[in-house]
Amino acid sequence: MNEFKTNFTLTKKIDHIAFIMDGNGRWAKAHNRPRTYGHKVGCDRLIDVFEYCKVFHIKYMSFYAFSTENWKRPKSEISQLFKYLEIFFKKEIDHLMRDGVKIIISGDISPLPSKTQKTIKEALVKTHANDKYFFNICLNYGSRDEIIKATKEISALVKDNRISIDEIDNQLFNKHLYTSEMPDVDLLIRTSGEERLSNFLLYQSAYAEFVFPKVHWPDFTFDVFISCLQEFEGRNRRFGGIKNEK
């Protein structure tokens, strides 16, 4: 049990929920604080949102923490953000372990500070065998890079005669994505009112429903989460067919 309670019943199944945690900077500005303070509060939100998802037994979660394009930001903002992420992993690892969470990192973390990498790698090793929840943090992640990486790996297999071109299908392609252990995204939530993907899970979100709450990420409360689920509940997912989903 956790502190988050609701009368709302979700009847539609959500296997994989994905979050674009946007608006930290604007939230900080509105509170007359530096952008980095927004990242601090934003990182503190992460564990709450994990708890929100648990209430609805959502097994797979993805969080966009840093994009391949975010390197365009000032160095000081970037290093502070990595510091807060490092603190998150250190502080919450026992909590995540207790809940049987497997941490997955999508993206190339090799350009990150060595201390951050070390903390992340320890969390990966520690949670490796868990399978109750999958907590995917997208860090230095870009969907286009991910698709190109998969294409290169598959091309190498063909070149070495380990597979034939005819064997390349969605199932095989999926095996070469960072999210190979996860199903497709059912619901994608982007906070802050922006309505775009910004290079996030393009392949995995082919049939996702999108919800764009107006609040900034640090203000993403349980009530806002419920309102997003209610919007999802009202959607008619058809996957190209003509009938309502079951």
* Number of residues binding to Mg ion, judged by CB under 5 A: 1
Give me the residue label for tokens 């934003």: 42
Tell me which of 15, 70, 99, 130 is the catalytic residue: 70
Residue 213: name its binding partner from Mg ion, ligand IPE, none (Cβ under 5 to 8 Å by kind).
Answer: none
| Contact present, 64 and 140 (Cβ < 8 Å) | no
Residue nearest to Mg ion (CB): 22
Q: How far is the CB of 148 from ligand IPE (least distance, A)?
A: 19
Candidates 9-17, 43-51, 65-73, 115-123 — which segment interacts with ligand IPE by CB under 6 A? Answer: 65-73
Active site residue 131: no
The yes or no reply on residue 23 touching ligand IPE (CB under 6 A) is yes
Residues belonging to the chain: 246
Inter-axis angle of helices 35-55 and 222-233, to 10 degrees? 60
Q: Which long-range contacts (CB under 8 A, 24 or more apart) does 207-211 make?
A: 207/237, 207/239, 208/18, 208/184, 209/235, 209/237, 211/187
**Rule CB under 5 A: is residue 28 a binding residue for Mg ion?**
no
Determine, following the binding rule CB under 6 A, whether residue 88 of this chain makes contact with ligand IPE. no
Nearest Cα residue to 88 out of 35, 22, 139:
139
CA distances to 138, 172, 188, 193, 236 from 21, rounded to whole Å, are 11, 30, 11, 11, 25
Task: Using the minimum distance from each CB to ligand IPE, give the nearer residue, 173 or 212.
Answer: 212
CA distance 242 to 220: 34
């860090």: which residue's tokens?
Answer: 139
Q: With contacts defined by CB under 6 A, name the span among 50-58, 101-109, 120-128, 194-202 that binds ligand IPE.
A: 194-202
* Catalytic residue flag (residue 70): yes
Which span sits near ligand IPE by CB under 6 A: 6-14, 145-153, 181-189, 191-199? 191-199
Nearest approach in angstroms of CB 20 to ligand IPE is: 5
- Please tell me the distance from the alpha carbon of residue 96 to that of residue 89, in angstroms, as a whole number: 9
Q: Shortest Cβ distance from residue 7 to ligand IPE (Å)?
A: 31
Q: Give the residue numbers marked as catalytic.
A: 22, 70
Where do contacts with ligand IPE occur on this chain (CB under 6 A)?
A: 20-26, 64-67, 70, 81, 192, 194, 196, 198
Q: Which residues bind Mg ion (CB under 5 A)?
A: 22
